[in-house]
């Protein structure tokens, strides 16, 4: 299948299975086509983006003792994974001139994001909530609409959203283990391990595509669009080793860890 066709299938299908089920054919990139910026992904009626306040917030770690709250958590996370997948598809359609090696790499990562979406959706269902039973937000998607080039994508999605997920996945693994839900904890660890590779991919391409005179950090900062900023690229429980595994320099990691919290401005 052509990468463009795969991206269109993920972004423009209204049926969830077509968006998130893996396809087994080889990917080709012979016809990347014209640049198209899709404003909103197509989704089934029960997964349309809702007002931010209509969607439930991530339940507190203490409340996860209640299986229903764990189901809500997986439902929210399934929507995060689905948005990441859709943003990647959007990027393939918006930037057809990006190097083919980058496009192939991104298409491979999308297969992981499809699997992550299915894992969370299946776990939510097992705990009593079908994916689509609750309102879902569009936070990640909306931020991606500010991306003007591939470097913006790299700074914003792999290095902020996937970067901070290196911390969130471990925080949630700990929280699920604390209430005895080892299956949910295992899902978080599996996603964490994949996320290291996704962040590595983002960093490697940032290095390849940035102007040589800019450091990794300068290129990262330069390509963030407010409200995305360095301190958004970390959670509570800072995972230094995972970032080292993803190829970040110690200097880059130190800067991330100490980036000033300016949340009061947002
Ligand atoms: Fe993911
Ligand atoms: Fe990812």
Q: Could you please report the per-residue DSSP string of the chain?
A: -BHHHHHHHHHH-SSHHHHHS---SPPB-S---S----SS----GGG-B--GGGSPPPPPTGGGGSHHHHHHHHHHHHHHHHHHHHHHHHHHHH-TTS-HHHHHHHHHHHHHHHHHHHHHHHHHHHTT--TTSS-B--HHHHHHTT--SHHHHHHHIIIIIIHHHHHHHHHHHHHHHHTT-HHHHHHHHHHHHHHHHHHHHHHHHHHHHS-TTS-HHHHHHHT--TT--GGGG--SS--HHHHHHTT--HHHHHHHHH----GGG-
Which ligand gives the minimal distance to the CA of 191?
1
pLDDT score at 76: 98
pLDDT score at 216: 97
How far does the centroid of ligand 1 lie from the alpha carbon of residue 213, in Å? 32
How far does the centroid of ligand 2 lie from the alpha carbon of residue 103, in Å? 15
Please state, in angstroms and rounded to a whole number, the distance separating the CA atoms of residues 86 and 88.
Answer: 5
> Long-range pairs for 187-195 at CB < 8 Å and ≥24 separation?
187/74, 187/119, 187/120, 187/123, 190/119, 191/116, 191/119, 191/165, 192/165, 192/166, 192/242, 194/112, 194/116, 195/162, 195/165, 195/166, 195/169, 195/242
pLDDT score at 263: 56
pLDDT score at 52: 77
How far does the centroid of ligand 2 lie from the alpha carbon of residue 87, in Å? 11
Please state, in angstroms and rounded to a whole number, the distance separating the CA atoms of residues 113 and 265.
Answer: 31
Nearest to 173 by CA among 191, 160, 158, 157: 191
How far does the centroid of ligand 2 lie from the alpha carbon of residue 186, in Å? 16
CA 119 to chain centre: 14
How far does the centroid of ligand 1 lie from the alpha carbon of residue 112, in Å? 6
How far does the centroid of ligand 1 lie from the alpha carbon of residue 78, in Å? 9
Query: Under 8 Å CB-to-CB from 88, ≥6 apart: which residues?
Result: 7, 10, 106, 109, 110, 113, 157
> Is 1.10.760 the CATH number for 64-261?
no
pLDDT in tens, the chain (266 residues): 999 999 999 999 999 999 999 988 999 999 999 999 999 999 999 999 998 789 999 999 999 999 999 999 999 999 999 999 999 999 999 999 999 999 999 999 999 999 999 999 999 999 999 999 999 999 999 999 999 999 999 999 999 999 999 999 999 999 999 999 999 999 999 999 999 999 999 999 999 999 999 999 999 999 999 999 999 999 999 999 999 999 999 999 999 999 987 655 44
How far does the centroid of ligand 1 lie from the alpha carbon of residue 11, in Å? 16
How far does the centroid of ligand 2 lie from the alpha carbon of residue 164, in Å? 10
How far does the centroid of ligand 2 lie from the alpha carbon of residue 198, in Å? 5
How far does the centroid of ligand 2 lie from the alpha carbon of residue 112, in Å? 7
How far does the centroid of ligand 2 lie from the alpha carbon of residue 194, in Å? 7
């Amino acid at each position: 299948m052509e990468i463009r066709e795969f991206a269109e299938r993920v972004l423009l299908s209204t049926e969830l299975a077509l968006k998130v089920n893996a396809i087994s054919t080889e990917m080709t990139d012979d016809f990347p086509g014209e640049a198209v910026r899709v404003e909103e992904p197509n989704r089934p009626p029960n997964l349309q983006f809702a007002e931010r306040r209509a969607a439930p917030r991530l339940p507190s770690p203490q409340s996860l003792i209640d299986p229903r709250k764990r189901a809500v958590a997986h439902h929210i996370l399934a929507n995060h994974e689905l948005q990441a997948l859709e943003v990647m598809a959007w990027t393939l359609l918006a930037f057809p001139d990006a190097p083919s090696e980058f496009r192939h790499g991104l298409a491979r990562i999308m297969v992981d994001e499809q699997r992550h979406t299915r894992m969370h959706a299946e776990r939510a269902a097992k705990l009593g909530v079908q994916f689509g039973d609750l309102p879902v937000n569009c936070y990640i998607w909306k931020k991606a609409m500010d991306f003007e080039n591939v470097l913006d994508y790299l700074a914003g999605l792999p290095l902020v959203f996937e970067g901070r997920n290196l911390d969130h996945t471990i925080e949630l693994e700990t929280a699920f283990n604390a209430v005895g839900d080892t299956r949910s904890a295992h899902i978080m660890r599996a996603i964490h391990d994949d996320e290291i590779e996704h962040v590595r991919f983002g960093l490697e391409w940032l290095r390849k595509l940035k102007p040589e005179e800019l450091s990794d950090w300068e290129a990262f900062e330069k390509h963030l669009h407010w409200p995305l900023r360095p301190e958004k690229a970390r959670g509570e429980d800072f995972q230094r080793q995972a970032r080292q595994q993803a190829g970040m320099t110690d200097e880059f990691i130190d800067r991330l860890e100490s980036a000033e919290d300016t949340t009061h401005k947002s």
